[in-house]
Amino acid sequence: MSVEVQFDGAILMPWPQTAQWSPAEVLAKDGQGTPIYAPYWTLTLSVPLTTGIDYSAWYDLRDSDTHTMINEHPETGVVTTFTNVYVDQVTPGQFDLRQDCPAQAGIDMVISRIVVS
């Protein structure tokens, strides 16, 4: 991924280490056997290094409200504005420096209800 991810015109995410797009799922097939797809895609982002302040800002996006996300289109790579997306999960990644002292080492974020056209 070659662009920063932006939410609501302000919150920038450093370049994710991984971006895993999950395309819309097949819901059923019509009478001719043509698949009928769900309208939404899901995106899982992993960022290797963050600060506590960054994590707090991203975690606050889990507010049951819709958001605007600017990111690369999953099929064309063109920077695209996706509207009315949900931030479903923001999970701190952790690794142990010592067993009694885990350190934050990034985040995983799941964004859903993305309309890809």
Predicted pLDDT at 70: 92
In whole angstroms, give the CA distance from residue 27 to residue 44: 21
Domain limits of the chain?
5-114
pTM attached to this predicted model: 0.79
Cβ-contact 18, 47 below 8 angstroms = no
Percent of the chain with pLDDT over 90: 44
Name the helix (H) or strand (E) containing 55.
helix 52-59
Lowest mean per-residue pLDDT among 19-28, 51-60, 74-83, 97-106: 97-106
Closest to 16 measured CA to CA, from 57, 49, 45: 45
